[in-house]
């Protein structure tokens, strides 16, 4: 009997702190699905097929407002375009796998699995990257599905006054703190976060886009300055 790869278990362990935010966020999607009239089986189908909390929540809001199906599809597609960039970033780590294996791993891709994996790859380039990613992604996928089903079953039993709005940002906080390993990433997080707060009132959520651009720019600038200063310090 083959033993479980060490890097797979490392991926599972890396995903555990992130579940603190993933569980309530997934439950919210289940509760929201029940609120718009989806049955438990329809909720399971949506959760398994889409597996993207932000787009699921957006689509259910559109369902509640009676929007046309084409608007729902386009909205989900636009929100999920970020996974194209995630996939491109992870491609060098997975390009030697068979097509069916890459398809399975691509299906399980999430913000949290991507963040945890890329952070680990940067620190431990010698690790079996496919196994680490699979461990993190499978853990997050499994817990998401169970939590979404639980939320759907609870449905109206969960009062709106509980205020689960914290769950979405919380699901990213553990991942973010794990990635703050050097000055450029810390600076990017601080400046991007401050910009998001200050620019919150901009129309069409442009404050979020501006915060992303400013945060990335700050991190790149700090990294370039750090690299330029390294030879001087070595002398």
pLDDT tens per residue, range 84-136: 888 888 888 888 889 999 999 999 999 889 988 988 888 888 888 899 999 99
pLDDT at position 136: 94
Q: What is the mean pLDDT of residues 202-221?
A: 80
Please tell me whether the overall predicted TM-score, pTM, comes out greater than 0.85 for this model: no
Sign of the C-alpha dihedral computed for residues 41, 45, 51 and 54 taken in this order: negative
Q: Phi-psi category of 127—alpha, beta or left, where left has phi over 0 and alpha has psi -120 to 50? A: beta
DSSP string, 161-211: GG-GGGHHHHHHHHHHHHH--SHHHHHHHHHHHHHHHHTTTSGGGHHHHHH
pLDDT at position 235: 45
User: Would you list the domain boundaries of the chain?
Assistant: 6-167, 182-235
Note whether 7 and 131 are within 8 A (CB): yes
Percent of the chain with pLDDT over 70: 83
């Amino acid at each position: 009997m083959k033993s479980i790869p060490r890097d797979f278990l490392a991926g599972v362990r890396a995903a555990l702190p992130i579940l603190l935010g993933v569980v309530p966020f997934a439950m919210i999607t289940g509760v929201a699905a029940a609120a718009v009239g989806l049955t438990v089986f329809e909720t399971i189908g949506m959760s398994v097929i889409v597996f993207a909390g932000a787009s699921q929540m957006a689509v259910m809001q559109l369902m509640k407002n009676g929007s046309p199906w084409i608007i729902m599809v386009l909205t989900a597609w636009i929100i999920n375009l970020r996974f194209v960039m995630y996939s491109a970033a992870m491609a060098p780590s997975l390009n030697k796998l068979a097509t069916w294996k890459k398809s399975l791993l691509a299906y399980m891709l999430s913000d949290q699995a991507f963040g945890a994996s890329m952070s680990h790859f940067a620190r431990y380039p010698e690790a079996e990257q496919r196994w680490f990613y699979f461990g993190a992604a499978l853990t997050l996928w499994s817990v998401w599905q169970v939590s979404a089903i639980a939320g759907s079953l609870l449905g109206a039993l969960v009062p709106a006054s509980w205020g689960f709005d914290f769950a979405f940002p919380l699901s990213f906080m553990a991942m973010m703190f794990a990635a703050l390993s050097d000055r450029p990433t810390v600076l990017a997080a601080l400046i991007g976060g401050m910009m998001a707060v200050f620019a919150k009132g901009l129309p069409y959520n442009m404050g979020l886009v501006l915060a992303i651009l400013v945060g990335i720019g700050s991190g790149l600038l700090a990294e370039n300055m750090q690299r330029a200063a390294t030879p001087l310090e070595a002398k």
